[in-house]
Structure 1
Amino acid sequence: MSEKPVYVRFPEEADAEQLTAMYKRNREFFEKFSPNSSEEYYTEEHQLQTIIKSKADREEDRRYAFVICHKEDDRIIGSIGLILVMRGPLQSCMIGYSLDQAYNGKGYTTEAVKQVVRYAFEELKFHRIVGEVSPRNPASIRVLENAGFLKEGISRSNLKINGVWEDHQVLAIINPSGDI
């Protein structure tokens, strides 16, 4: 089996500077498909506080944030997370991700999604993971499909992006181990 070009890990306080730089570099690109972030989001202090909060979220089984790192130089090239954690009879969550535009089209996001899905199913014991993607972003839909997600339908007028309510393609993957 060939060496994976990327790996995921939980963010650490020391990552705040690198994360801030990546988000600033890609702001225009990311905001095409995601709700606009405040100016504060693009500050190192905000990223540091987000990293600190992510540890508590993880400990309380609310949210799981990861950074995507390029194996060659350990540089942070993206972020990926499991949000909207629902336990009880649902045992589900939603996945979201962003990758530095300079690294797009190389299969890195698909690999990161596969790693996080494996963690979600094997370690966290989720039954189902959902992804929602703008139909205007076919590359992101392909990422999920290549990671084993199946299209389920369209969530109409789902998310306000740049002042416009947009539809989203809903995709999901079910834990192959069945009952948990």
Structure 2
Amino acid sequence: MEDFMFTGEKISIRPFTQEDVDARLKLQTENRHFFEMYSMTRQDNYYTVEGQRELIEEYDNNFKNDQEYNFGIFTTAEKKLIGTISLFQVIRGSLQSAFIGYFIDKENNGKGYATEAVKWIVEFAFTNLNLHRIEAGVMPHNLGSIRVLEKAGFHKEGLAVKNVKINGKWEDHQVLAIINPND
């Protein structure tokens, strides 16, 4: 698993393990309202120890099957879980692509952690996974997230109208993507 880790000056990124259950539950519970402003509403079981334990097991299986890659974002000094980042819907064959998603807790937003994490996972995707394209969808009013992606080299491609249902409402998403420069 060392090939799937990053340690920088401010943050480190690594796959989740069962030892992260309590930290994940705390992160998700304390930031529930904040995260759900930008993502789908979760079932109540998601906010339980057992729900997090099952999710980490699912992450591990998806990782092994080259379907999805989920990582925790930790502060390097305190080793505190402050966010998550993932590559999901990995498609092989003629597409060689995936979607990216990430969350940083409300307390640590705007400190550059997401940008560093996105840059790392892009490098991981292109170098370790040999992906050709990574795509992101961001609600147009989430300017901070759009800036994160642009700083990491993503370019805007268009608007996906009523693309994702968030809090019971179909939301538009700005589509951004990055292409592997070696392809």
Query: How high is the TM-score relative to the length of structure 2?
Result: 0.94
Aligned to 2:153: 148
Give the Cα separation in 2 of the matches to 1:171 and 1:4.
27
Q: CA offsets, 1:116-172, max 9 Å, x none?
A: 111110000000000100112111111111111000000011011111111000000
* Mapping of residues 88-103 of structure 1, within 5 Å: 88-103=93-108
1:115 to 117, 120, 123: 120
* Mapping of residues 22-171 of structure 1, within 5 Å: 22-171=27-176
Runs of 5+ unmatched residues, structure 1:
none
Give the Cα separation in 2 of the matches to 1:174 and 1:7.
24
Q: Is 2:181 the partner of 1:176?
A: yes
Runs of 4+ that moved beyond 6 A: none
Compute the displacement of 1:4 (Å): 2.7
Compute the displacement of 1:72 (Å): 1.2
Residue identity in the other structure for 2:78: D
Give the Cα separation in 2 of the matches to 1:169 and 1:7.
28
- Structure 1 contact 77–99 (Cα < 8 Å) conserved: yes
CA RMSD in angstroms comes to: 0.8
Give the Cα separation in 1 of the matches to 2:121 and 2:55.
19
Q: CA offsets, 1:47-104, max 9 Å, x none?
A: 1111111111111111001000110111110011000110000000000011111001
Give the Cα separation in 2 of the matches to 1:172 and 1:79.
19
Residue identity in the other structure for 1:87: R
Between the two proteins, the alignment pairs up a number of residues equal to: 176
Compute the displacement of 1:46 (Å): 0.8
Runs of 5+ unmatched residues, structure 2:
1-7
Aligned to 2:5: none
Query: How high is the TM-score relative to the length of structure 1?
Result: 0.96
